[in-house]
Chain A
Amino acid sequence: MNKGILLIALLLTACAPWAQVGGPYLSSSSHFSIVLPQKWMMLKTSEYLLISKDGPFLQYILVQERHKSKPFEHTRKVLADAMLPQEAAQVIVDELSSDRSLQGFKLIQNGPADINGHHGFRLFFTNRNADGVVFKTMYYGFLEGEWFFAIRYTAVERYYFQKEVKTFEKMLHTFNPPEADERSIPRPLGR
């Protein structure tokens, strides 16, 4: 009986959602490649790529891919064909600032950015949680064909943000979306 319970506990540990990662990463479901920093932990989910070194409530890097027709939660604006990075950035800013759960949202910087050769935008903003802890976010985004890619680094402003910001910037410049012919293959909405 005791051995049975221990075995169940071990099996459950094996199903834990976090795994240590590092090096080149290619998601077959997400169709983008990026080089992950060594010894970071990745959350196992097919919806997005989330990695953290000190725990997701202190800092994380999130890579998302969404079809441009996917509606946003807090704004009815959409990402449209031939949108300039400036316009796409405005939609994202409006989505963030209309989100009531994002307390104390303050946009510090909004400007054009080059993400490994892709013309996009960079947002730099802060917000706080219910306990008053201030978080800083560096958010890069760009439209490529039918898809919008977002790569963000969020961390507690005090100590944690500066700690891994260089790691994030290094990782950012290894991001590569799929080639044009692969992107034309229809994929489920929300991917």
Chain B
Amino acid sequence: MKRLVFAIIIVLLVASLPLRAVCLALPDCTMSKEELRLFSQAREQERILDESGFLYADPGLESYLEQVASKLEGGGDLISLLGPGGLRAAISGYTRKFEAEADLVGLKMAAKAGYDIVEALRLFEYLRKEIEINDTREPFFFATHPKLQGRIENCKRFIKNHPSLLMSGVKNTREFLARTQELVLENAKLDLKAGRFDTARTGIEKYLAISPNDARAHFVLGEIFRQRARRGDIEKALRSYETAISLAPFYPEPYEAMGLIYYKEGRMGLARVSFETCLALSTNLPDRAYIESYVRKWRQ
């Protein structure tokens, strides 16, 4: 009887926790929600480095971390998968010394394969710039690694001390950009969704350097300006939409976006023309219901 009552008390205590409580306040586990987010972010960045050959890959640990990442994505129970000790091991996997060595091994391998190893520094520069622009902390997973600047210095020193490896290696810049340009455009759209306007703009400008006559990119650039809405952005947005229209006159989205700007500015004549044009150009606009409601008001 005593045991039953005690069990009921424990059940009531647990049930009274707020629905949103993250039950990580378990003994020996101090990973907060923020740390879990950083851990996921670090996994993404680790994947970039891994695929470029600049990360020492311990196959056993790699597979272990893949399981962890998929469990995180699936909303699974991290604690039951890892246990407190396993969690610590997963986070603090690499040591500083091995990581520095791994970078240099990767550079040697790249040079041996005929690639221009000076290009390797760009990867770290991109990471550093992204951290600065987005004002993020260095990914949690890097907390036990040499800081990013340290890795950049390490690679620079290696390149300086091995001039024999500095042949006119293959860069494949044009081919690489041609094959990845759609990815650059899609990535810019995702950055826009996430409100990372400056990163999105960098991505779109990179895309436009490859494909300057792509109306979609000019439209996305216009959206970046319109949604960012800093001083002078609306004029820039209108110019980008006009460029998109000049490249693709039957592209409906720029008309819709221009219509929104004119509508909010009270320039109803221009707004109406823009909205009616975009409705005429497309039957399956995602925001069609809104545009029709604006036009209906004028017709009434």
Contacts and interface: CB of A to CB of B under 8 A. Distances in A.
B194 A16 contact: no
A129 interface: yes
B195 A94 contact: yes
A74 B251 CA distance: 30
B2 interface: yes
B276 to A, nearest CB: 17
A6 interface: yes
B1 A16 contact: no
Interface in A47-100: 50, 56, 72, 74-78, 80, 82, 84-87, 90, 94, 97-98, 100
Interface string B262-300: 011000000000000000000000110110010000000
Interface stretch (A7-15, A136-144, A176-184): A7-15
Contacts of B176: none
Interface stretch (B70-78, B103-111, B124-132, B212-220): B70-78
Contact of B12 (A13, A87, A129): A13
Interface residues of A, number: 38
Interface in B46-71: none
B75 A98 contact: no
A12 B260 contact: no
Contacts of A130: 74-76
Contacts of A56: 19
Say what secondary structure dominates the interface of chain B.
helix
B19 A9 contact: no
Given A43-B19, A86-B287, A94-B193, A9 B5 contact: yes
Contacts, number: 77
Contacts of A8: 9
Interface string A14-26: 0111000000000
B194 A74 contact: yes
Given A9-B12, A76-B194, A94-B194, A100 B73 contact: yes
A8 B195 CA distance: 50
Contacts of A5: 2, 5-6, 9
A12 B229 contact: no
Contact of A76 (B12, B16, B196): B196
Contacts of B15: 16-17
B123 interface: no
B12 A75 contact: no
Given A43-B19, A76-B196, A110 B287 contact: yes
Interface in A129-157: 129-130
Contacts of B1: 2
B290 A76 contact: no
Nearest to B9: A9
A81 to B, nearest CB: 10
In the complex, the 6 A-B pairs of residues with the closest C-beta atoms, listed nearest first: A76-B195, A111-B289, A77-B195, A130-B75, A86-B290, A12-B12
13 contacts: A5-B2, A12-B9, A15-B16, A17-B15, A50-B19, A77-B195, A77-B227, A85-B290, A86-B260, A94-B193, A98-B194, A110-B286, A130-B74
Interface of B: 1-2, 5-6, 8-9, 12-13, 15-16, 18-19, 40, 73-76, 193-197, 227, 229, 260, 263-264, 286-287, 289-290, 293
Interface of A: 2, 5-6, 8-9, 12-13, 15-17, 43, 45, 50, 56, 72, 74-78, 80, 82, 84-87, 90, 94, 97-98, 100-101, 103, 110-112, 129-130
